[in-house]
Amino acid sequence: MKIIDYQDSRPIYEQIVESFKVQIFKGILQADEQMPSVRSLAMELSTNPNTVQRAYSELERQGFIYTVKGRGNFVKGDDSLKDTKKQEVIDEIVELFVEANSIGITFDEVLSEIKVRLDEIAKEGGKS
């Protein structure tokens, strides 16, 4: 999985945070699984260890990982994080549907357009 995109305007540590959050949400990283060490991830990404440490600190602050002194960082097994993210996404979608409706776009039109676009993405090889 590509973690850093140098074309992205976000700071590298934010990209690292987002990448690990996605991996946790998708179940690629499981509860209590050890995260790569700061030093090894920094070397792998060709970035400063302080950048990786900042990303790990942010992940810990947000409740995605925990630290064990002398052993490293581990994925926290907290399903409420995924449930919270799911609710946030649904809330955003509902807001967009309400906005679309307020300018005269019907629910069926929105769903039809979404289906067309998802089909296009699938034909491109699942890029997202």
Residues 20 and 64 in one domain: yes
We report the CATH number of the domain holding residue 49 as 1.10.10.10
Containing domain of residue 26, as a range?
A: 12-77
Rounded Cα gap, residues 26 and 111, in angstroms? 24
Q: 67-114 pLDDT, tens per residue? A: 999 999 999 987 788 888 899 999 999 999 999 999 999 999 999 999
Q: What is the DSSP string of 58-82?
A: HHHHTTSEEEETTTEEEE---HHHH
90 and 37 in a single domain? The answer is no
Number of domains, the chain: 2
73 in the same domain as 16:
yes
Let me know whether 58 and 86 are in one domain: no
Per-residue pLDDT, 127: 54
- Summarize pLDDT for 5-21 with one digit per residue, the tens: 888 999 999 999 999 99
Residue 57 contacts residue 75 (beta carbons within 8 Å): no
Q: Which residues pair with 75 in a beta bridge?
A: 65
Strand partners, 72: 68
